[in-house]
Each structure stands twice: as C-alpha cells, then as structure tokens.
Amino acid sequence: MKIILNNNIVVIPNGFTVRQLIEHIGYLKSVAVLINGKQLLSAQYKEYQLKENDNVRIIRILGGG
C-alpha cells in the first residue's frame, strides 16, 4: 500500500506498524511521529498499523554533542 512519508510517496506492506516503518528507514535514535497531523505517543509506535494514504511525518531528534 502507498503512504506519504515525509512528503514522499512510499510503498509498504499491508499492516506495517509505525515501529516497523521506523526500523525500515533506519532511524535508530529517538523520533517523533505524526500521522495525518496528529502526534502519536511512544507507546503507540509498536501497535499502530498504518493505513493506505496516511500522511506520515517521522522526525529525527537531533541533539547536542
């Protein structure tokens, strides 16, 4: 199925969770996730299943050091 990820159309398997998507794109550190403009809680990442045409924004948290 198609979703919009950070303004790009991408194809992912049906039933893909947010956690699986984060791992798929290789963001290993802390991220914030917005689905259709609404922010998810961290606890939702593992279970939340993406739907066709979801507009997903995954934000890498870039800190200090």
Partner 1 sequence: MDFPDAKILEIDLTSGSILKKTLSSEIYRLYPGGSALGLYLMMQDYIPGTDALDPGNILVFSVSPLTGLPISGISRINVTARSPLTGTAGDSQSGGFIGSYLKMNGWDAVVFKGKSPIPVYLLIDGDHIELKSATHLWGNVTGEVETMIHQELGNSNFEVAQIGPAGENLVRFACIINKCSRANGRNGMGAVMGSKNLKAVVVAKRKGMEPYDSEKFTELSKSVKSRLEENTTVAGLGQFGTDGDLEGINDVGFLPTRNWTSGHYPEGASNITGTKMYETILKNRDTCFSCAVRCKRVVEVPNMVDPLYGGPEYETAAAFGSYCEIPSLEYISLANQLCNMYGLDTISCGATIAFAMECYENGIIDEETTEGIKLQFGNVEAIPAIIKKIAEREGIGNILAEGSYRAAQKLGKDAIRMSISVKGQELPAHMPQFKPAVGLIYAVNPFGADHQSSEHDPFLMMPPDSRERIRLAKIGISKGYMDTTTMDDDKVRFAFESQKFFSILDTLCLCQFVWGPAWELYGPDDIVNLCKYGIGWETSIYELMQIGERRINMMRYFNAIEGYTKSDDVLPERIFHPLRGGPTDGVILDRESHEQSKEFYYELAGWDKDNGNPTESTMRKLSLHWLL
- Of 22, 4, 24, nearest to 60 by C-alpha is 22
In angstroms, rounded to a whole number, what is the distance separating the alpha carbons of residues 13 and 42?
22
In the bound state with partner 1, the residue whose beta carbon lies nearer, of 1 and 17, is 17
Smallest separation (angstroms) from partner 1 to the CB of 16: 19
Positions in 5-64 near partner 1 (CB under 8 A)? 28-30, 32-34, 39-43, 59-64
Name the residues that contact partner 1, by CB under 8 A.
28-30, 32-34, 39-43, 59-65
